[in-house]
Amino acid sequence: MVNFEPFRYRLEKALQRSDGAKGGRLAYDVVLMFKILILQALYGLSDAQAEFQIQDRLSFLRFLGPSLSDRTPDATTI
């Protein structure tokens, strides 16, 4: 299994998210979102297709890392 943690610093630096002072929902992990983009590129998936495949395929969930009970991004978040 490939370790994507070395990318975390560069991804967080590139995104420059807000500090959360204004409230709102917690952001998804940057490495998780990066992995979703990789899956979309490899399989030619739209956002809606990616959402469906993440919920449908155990292999996608295994690659992304969350357990079956964790929430995953929906199509509008992707």
Segments making up each domain of the chain, as ranges: 7-13+27-78
Q: Burial letters for 4-43: b for 16+ Cβ neighbours within 10 Å, e otherwise?
A: beeeeeeeeeeeeeeeeeeeeeeeebbbebebbeebbeee
What is the percentage of the chain residues whose pLDDT exceeds 90?
45
- Per-residue pLDDT, 20: 65
pTM for the model stands at: 0.82
Looking at the predicted structure, is the pLDDT value of residue 51 above 70? yes
Mean pLDDT confidence for 40-52: 96
Higher-pLDDT residue of 45, 17: 45
Sign of the Cα pseudo-torsion (27, 31, 37, 39, in order): negative
Count helices and strands (H / E) in the chain: 4, 0
Note the pLDDT of residue 18: 64
Other CB atoms within 10 Å distance of the CB of residue 58: 8
